[in-house]
A and B are shown apart, each in its own frame.
Chain A
Amino acid sequence: MIPPITKMLARHLLRSHTSKDKFSPAEAALRELADSLGLAAQAKLGRSLAIRAVDAGSCNGCELEIHAVTHPVYDLERFGIKFVASPRHADVLLVTGPVSWNMAEALRRTVEATPEPRWVVAMGDCAIDGGCFAGSYAVAGGAAAIVPVDMTIPGCPPTPINIIAGLLALLKTVDG
């Protein structure tokens, strides 16, 4: 008997499961974005950009979409852009959520632990200005209330396409 894992690996190796999916999201737009993101990543960073995600108080909706861009359909890693486990390895900090006061210190220290040159991206409406949590006694506001922010990606939560487009915009501002 052929074990299921062998079958599955063979299937994935022999044909892409995403290309035949007629319901795959905005396929043309994604492909266009992907091509320019791939080019930019290669030109500016030699195909290596490391992102550290920092949840500074999010509802976890943004995290779900960050996961989605790493899954096979969007597959961010094919551009050399990957999520890393430590800020010490990161070029970009992707901050989500309104910054809760209980997370403010941790966010500040995470930014300080990231070597320069570094970029801070505020992802999602909450990270931009606190979103629907602004004004609470427990919320400092958007990420910019605590750390310098280089770029924002709006949305509640931003869709994977928005996230990829946002990272592309960031890459275009980076001096290669």
Chain B
Amino acid sequence: MMGNVTLLEFLSMGREVANHRPWPRYQLDAKGWRQLVEQMTVSNWEILAEWGEPAEVHVLLRGEDSGAIAVASHPCPDGAFFALGQVRPAAIRLERAIRDLWGLIPEGLEDQRPWLDHGHWRVTHPLGRPRQYDGGRHLYKFLTAEGDGLHQIPVGPVHAGVIEPGHFRFHCQGETVVRLEERLGYVHKGIEGLLAGKPILDAARIAGRVSGDATVAYAIAFARAVEAALGLDIPPRAHWLRALMAELERIANHLFDIGAICNDAAFAIMLSHMGALREKILAANHAIFGHRLLMDRVVPGGVSMDLDEAGRQRLAALLPRLRHGFKRAVALYDQTPSLLDRTTGTGMIHGTLAHRFGVSGFVGRASSRSVDARRMPGYPPYDDLDFAIPVLAEGDVHARVQIRMEEVRASLALIEQILTGLPDGAFLTALPMRAGEGVALVESFRGEVAFWVRLSETGKVVRAHPHDPSWFQWPLLEAAIEGNIVADFPLCNKSFNCSYSGHDL
């Protein structure tokens, strides 16, 4: 182990891979990789994503203080690698997934249970060296809790509400949750397998459907990764229109979730109020951009359609109406003690745990982590825009609601700035045919979305990996519910609102 060493200094002992932009990628041999894992026990470097290839494992890292970002890769032709999950619990599920998909064994990882592979695919290691699977069903052993009067409550994968599928196994003592264990992977669609070999624009369509609620953020992340790989600069107007769509998406999701959190505390009027407000945004999206959720509006090279003057005016007219309706909702929330009683002190995440898992988004910001990809590493046009990043330390459902309310206000102010300062010019540029590798980090409403791509010189995606912020938020939900009552689970769950689809891929 080395003492005070920055991420880039440390990684420079490896071999730098050419044509990887905008941040470098280094290949480490077995010794170097092991040193990296050991160094992670003392460094405050954060894992942003970890994924595989048939004979190589990659990790996207951020040196927390310096903000430097780099990919560390470890070729492992013998099919095994020293597991990062031994020292960073956030990587455990990522490495279980790497084993399922690419067949690379995370050595030293205590939990070797499969994660995404439920035994139904008819192949094992579909993205590595696939083999016909003729075994029986997987028996999944849940973690246990023992003691007098403990009972289990299995929930899912088909849930009571209109939400995505996943299984929750509760161990309870009376009303109190002693342990929650999640089992996910039900909506695994093999997205990385589908992306490989696709022409860039076909892949963009799939990238925008990794998690439908964050379609704009995913489309931007994919487009930025492709543009980085091609070394392509897009017109300034395209950057600004992307940000406009991203902030509209952020507000629509926050409004709906704040309403749904209150609804899960049996305060249904808030959901109705927020639903009506949200509908104003989606209706405007539909009228201006032709799609209510803005799918396929951000494409590699820019955006697929421009904002005309009528659209600009309609959005400008919408802002005061949203502000007004939102102010009413906040007043209602703030002055309803029975509701505050449910959200305050419920589902606590301590700041140390949030840091340990490197969690991003409002879950992190409600637990004293001030990370926001729009600021660090930052990307255009946010460097020209003025916005604050709210941070609280309480870490309960109430704090997450407060952060989201603050973010709605910040996004409304951002949209105002974008509508005023929107530069003129082209909104789309042609893609050159060039080979290369690119990576991007984009702030979705939920947190940091990472996208890594490798392109061939024929304009096709060779490999791509999307990473959802939910990977690091799901495990914290298990911690948040501990010691709370079962009836507060929907409340806690909605205050996180992790993506199943984005996580399961």
A complexed with B: yes
| Residue numbers in B under 8 Å from A102 (CB-CB) | 116, 118, 120, 185-188, 504
**Does B170 sit within 8 A of A, measured CB to CB?**
no
The answer to whether the Cβ of B123 comes within 8 Å of any Cβ in the partner chain is: yes
Closest A residue to B209 by beta carbon equals A59
Once A4-B336, A53-B162, A103-B157 are accepted as A-B contacts, the answer to whether A138 and B190 lie under 8 Å apart by CB is yes
Which residue of A21, A24, A57, A71 is within 8 Å of B189 (Cβ)?
A57
Min CB–CB distance A137 → chain B (angstroms): 5
Judge whether B212 and A137 touch: CB under 8 Å: no
In the complex, the answer to whether B163 meets A72 with C-beta atoms within 8 Å is no
B211–A59 touching, CB < 8 Å: yes
Q: Which residues of A, 3-53, contact B by the 8 Å Cβ criterion?
A: 3-5, 8-9, 12, 17-18, 21, 23-25, 53
B184-211 CB contacts (< 8 Å) to partner A: 185-191, 193-194, 205-206, 209-211
Contact between A86 and B189, CB atoms less than 8 A apart: no
Q: Which residues, 320 to 353 on B, are CB-close (under 8 Å) to A?
A: 328, 331-332, 335-336
Q: Whole-angstrom distance from the CB of A86 to the nearest CB of chain B?
A: 7
Q: Tell me whether B158 and A106 are in contact (CB under 8 A).
A: yes
| In-complex Cβ contact of A132 among B123, B126, B130, B194 (8 A) | B194
Contacts of A110 in B (CB 8 A): 158
Contacts A23-B283, A60-B213 given: A159-B185 contact, CB under 8 Å? no
Contact A97 B187, beta carbon cutoff 8 Å: yes
Instruction: Fill in one digit per residue for A46-68: 1 if any B CB lies within 8 Å of its CB, else 0.
Output: 00000001111111111111111
Bound: A105/B137 CA distance, A: 12
Decide if B189 touches A25 in the complex (CB within 8 Å).
no
Per-residue B-contact encoding for A124-140, CB less than 8 Å = 1, 0 else: 00000000110111110
**Contact A106:B162 (CB < 8 A) given known A23-B283, A24-B283, A137-B193:** no
Kindly report which residue of chain B lies nearest to residue A73, judged by CB atoms.
Answer: B279
Instruction: Provide the bound-state CA to CA distance between A103 and B212, in Å.
Output: 18
Question: Closest CB-CB distance, A89 to chain B, in whole Å?
Answer: 11
Given A5-B269, A68-B275, A100-B189, A60-B121 contact (CB < 8 Å) = no
CB distance from A105 to the nearest CB of B (A): 7
Known contacts A63-B163, A71-B275; A139/B286 CB under 8 A = no
The answer to whether B332 and A8 have CB atoms under 8 Å apart is yes
Kindly state the separation between the CA atoms of A87 and B159 in the bound complex, as whole angstroms.
10
Most buried by A among B275, B331, B336: B275
A147 within 8 A of B: no
Q: How many residues of chain A have a CB within 8 Å of chain B?
A: 56
- Shortest CB-to-CB span from B174 to chain A, Å, is 23
- Are A55 and B121 within 8 A (Cβ)? no
Given A132-B209, A159-B286: A100 touches B186 (CB 8 Å cut-off): yes
Known: A8-B328, A102-B185. A85 touches B160 (CB 8 A): yes
Q: Could you tell me the distance between the alpha carbons of A101 and B286 in the complex, rounded to whole angstroms? A: 33
A103 and B186 in contact, given A60-B501, A137-B130 (Cβ under 8 angstroms)? yes
B162 and A136 form a contact (CB under 8 A): no
Report how far A170 CA is from B206 CA in the complex, Å.
Answer: 30
CB-based nearest B residue for A97: B187
- CB B162 to nearest CB in A, in angstroms, measures 5
On chain B, the residues within 8 Å of A18 by CB distance are 276
Are A106 and B501 within 8 A (Cβ)? Answer: no
The reply to whether B158 and A98 contact each other, CB–CB distance below 8 Å, is no
* Residues of the A chain whose Cβ atoms lie less than 8 Å from the Cβ of B276: 17-18, 71-73
Q: Does A174 belong to the interface (CB within 8 Å)?
A: no
Is the pair B256, A104 in contact by a Cβ cutoff of 8 Å? no
What is the bound-complex CA distance between A139 and B126, given in angstroms?
Answer: 12
Q: Cβ of B161 < 8 Å from any Cβ of A?
A: yes
Q: Which of A124-173 contact B (CB under 8 A)?
A: 132-133, 135-139, 156-157, 159
Residues of B290-317 contacting chain A, CB below 8 A: 292-293, 295, 314
Which of B120, B160, B193, B314 is in CB contact (< 8 Å) with A101? B120
With A9-B269, A25-B286, A139-B190 known to touch, is A55 a contact of B120 (CB < 8 Å)? no
Name the CB-closest residue of A to B161: A85
Which residues from 147 to 194 on chain B have a C-beta closer than 8 Å to any C-beta of chain A? Answer: 157-158, 160-165, 185-191, 193-194
User: Which of A23, A53, A62, A139 is close to B318, meaning CB atoms less than 8 Å apart?
Assistant: A23
Report whether A68 and B193 are in contact in the complex, using a CB–CB cutoff of 8 Å. Answer: no
Contacting pair B187 A58 (CB below 8 A): yes
Interchain CB contact under 8 A, B213 and A64: yes
Cα(A23)–Cα(B285), bound, Å: 11
Given A55-B187, A60-B212, A132-B194, 8 other A-B residues pairs in contact with their CB atoms under 8 A: A3-B336, A12-B272, A25-B283, A55-B163, A60-B164, A71-B279, A136-B191, A137-B121
Please list 7 pairs of residues, one from A and one from B, whose beta carbons are closer than 8 Å in the complex, sorted by A's number.
A8-B273, A8-B332, A25-B283, A71-B275, A106-B158, A156-B295, A157-B212
Closest 5 CB pairs of A and B: A61-B212, A71-B275, A138-B190, A136-B190, A85-B160
Binding site for B on A (CB under 8 A): 3-5, 8-9, 12, 17-18, 21, 23-25, 53-68, 70-73, 83, 85-87, 97-98, 100-106, 110, 132-133, 135-139, 156-157, 159
